[in-house]
């Protein structure tokens, strides 16, 4: 079954544009001088870079900030005229000039830097601690997803489940399977029932839940549930789209297999559907064998259910 095309909706586009308008207005970026200073937003950003990094060439500075070379050259000349900028020949290549701030430049930047910190502190102080943390985490998420960090950091950690995880897992799986396979809300209900039953009857001696987390966000999970003294069930394996390709699905399955063997189970079993091709590939590679297939109509679709077993 083909996935839905990865095209943003008009509503999503307008929400991002609306947020951009709100935030630029909220922190005063539309004013002629940033934070009641004599500097524009771009000038303040260039000052910030020069104050917080080693001497840099104009070419590198322009590339890192995405500034037009001609525009940056004119801006730097204004800094020269005010005595804010120092140009030093590079020891590696005397033809290159390294840029840094003079003492006057550092003195000009200091009140701007302090005013920015004060403005943000005032904004955050109006929020309750929980809301403040959510705002900071959300900003970090925006920076990571829109910037270059979306796929550059593969690290994650696994932890046991805790309060709040069950509702999140039901929500995310319901949403993802609706988006990717067109399944209806009855699947979300099934996930919620399975997860709630796990928590209600949880026996840590024989059962386990693994939550994969990266940058404070859940990116995957899996459950191992006791069926009998000899049989355990692997349930509700899922990996967020942003974490696919990291080997996380296989890692979660391997954790289940290792735990089941440690506890002395003889068989690890699971039920899935044949349209979940990536998951079935993980099970097959881990040594599971397909023991049963059966057509059924569930979640608003005609599906083929599969039972896979692994002899431990």
Are 96 and 230 found together in one domain? Answer: no
Provide the 10 A C-beta neighbour count for residue 23: 10
b/e burial code for range 235-249 (CB count within 10 A of at least 16 → b):
bbbbbbeebeebebb
pLDDT for 249 = 94
60/169 same-domain check: no
Q: Over 90: is that where the pLDDT of 112 sits? A: no
For 22, 112, 115, 300, the CA distances from 71, given in Å and listed in that order, are 27, 22, 26, 57
Please indicate, yes or no, whether residues 165 and 267 belong to a single structural domain of this protein: yes
- CATH (domain of 218): 3.40.630.30
Q: Of residues 183 and 123, which shows the higher confidence score?
A: 183
Could you report the per-residue pLDDT of 218-250, keeping only the tens digit for each?
A: 999 999 999 999 999 999 999 999 888 889 999
Do 32 and 97 belong together in one domain? Answer: yes
Contact in structure between 213 and 159 (CB atoms under 8 Å)? yes
| Same-domain status, 305 and 167 | yes
Q: Is residue 262 part of a domain?
A: yes
Question: In this structure, are strands 289-298 and 231-239 parallel, antiparallel, or unpaired?
Answer: unpaired
| Spatial CA neighbour of 287 closest among 208, 234, 212, 220 | 234
Q: What confidence tens digit (pLDDT) does each residue in 272-300 have?
A: 999 999 999 999 999 999 999 999 999 99
- Give the end of a domain, one of 126, 146, 176: 126
- Give residue-wise pLDDT tens across range 7-27: 888 898 898 889 888 888 887
Structural domain including 227 reads 157-311
What is the per-residue pLDDT across 122-139, written as a single tens digit (0 to 9) for each?
A: 989 998 888 888 888 788
Return the pLDDT at 148.
61
Last residue of a domain, one of 79, 108, 126: 126
Same structural domain for residues 206 and 120?
no
The pLDDT of residue 40 is 84
Are 141 and 215 contacting, i.e. CB atoms less than 8 angstroms apart?
yes
My answer on whether 185 and 120 are in the same domain is: no
Number of Cβ within a 10 Å radius of residue 67:
17
Cα of 123 vs its chain's centroid, Å: 25
Domain CATH code at residue 103: 1.10.10.10
Looking at residue 58, its pLDDT comes to 92
Calculate the CA dihedral of residues 181, 185, 191, 197 and round it to 10 degrees: -170
- Let me know whether 161 and 122 are in one domain: no
Q: What is the domain count for the chain? A: 2
Same domain? 114 vs 172: no
The answer on 177 and 88 residing in a single domain is: no
What's the rounded mean pLDDT across residues 250-264? Answer: 95
Residues 204 and 269 placed together within one structural domain of the fold: yes
Q: How far apart are CA 6 and CA 274, in angstroms?
A: 23
Q: Is the pLDDT of residue 147 over 60?
A: yes
Query: Is 224 within a domain?
Result: yes
How does pLDDT run across 45-61, given as a tens digit for each residue?
A: 899 899 988 888 999 99
> Is the predicted pLDDT of residue 154 greater than 70, yes or no?
no
Name the average pLDDT for the chain: 89
* Distance, CA of 292 to CA of 305 (rounded, Å): 8
């Amino acid at each position: 079954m083909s996935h839905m095309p990865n095209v943003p909706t008009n509503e999503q586009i307008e929400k991002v544009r609306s947020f951009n308008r709100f935030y630029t207005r909220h922190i005063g970026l539309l004013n002629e001088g940033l934070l009641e200073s004599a500097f524009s937003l771009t000038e303040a950003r260039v000052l910030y870079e020069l104050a917080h990094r080693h001497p840099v060439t104009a070419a590198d500075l322009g590339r890192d900030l995405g500034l037009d070379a001609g525009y940056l050259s004119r801006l730097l000349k204004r800094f020269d005229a005010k005595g804010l900028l120092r140009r030093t020949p590079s020891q590696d290549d005397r033809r290159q000039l390294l840029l840094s701030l003079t003492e006057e430049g550092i003195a000009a930047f200091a009140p701007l830097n302090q005013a920015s910190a004060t403005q943000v502190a005032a904004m955050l102080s109006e929020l309750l601690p929980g809301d403040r943390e959510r705002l900071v985490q959300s900003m970090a998420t925006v920076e990571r997803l829109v910037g270059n960090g979306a796929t550059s950091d593969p690290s994650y950690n696994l932890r046991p489940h805790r309060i709040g995880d069950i509702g999140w897992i039901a929500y995310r799986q319901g949403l993802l399977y609706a988006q990717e396979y067109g399944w209806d809300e009855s699947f979300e209900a099934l996930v919620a029932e399975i997860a709630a039953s796990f928590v209600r009857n949880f026996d840590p001696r024989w059962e386990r839940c693994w939550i994969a987390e990266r940058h404070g966000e859940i990116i995957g999970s899996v459950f191992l549930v006791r069926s009998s003294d000899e049989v355990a069930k692997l349930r509700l394996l899922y990996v967020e789209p942003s974490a696919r390709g990291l080997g996380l699905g296989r890692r979660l399955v391997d954790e289940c297999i290792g735990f089941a063997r440690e506890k002395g189970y003889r068989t690890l079993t699971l039920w899935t559907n044949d349209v979940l091709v990536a998951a079935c590939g993980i099970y097959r590679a881990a040594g599971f064998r397909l023991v049963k297939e059966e057509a059924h109509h569930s979640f608003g679709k005609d599906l083929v259910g599969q039972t896979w077993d692994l002899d431990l």
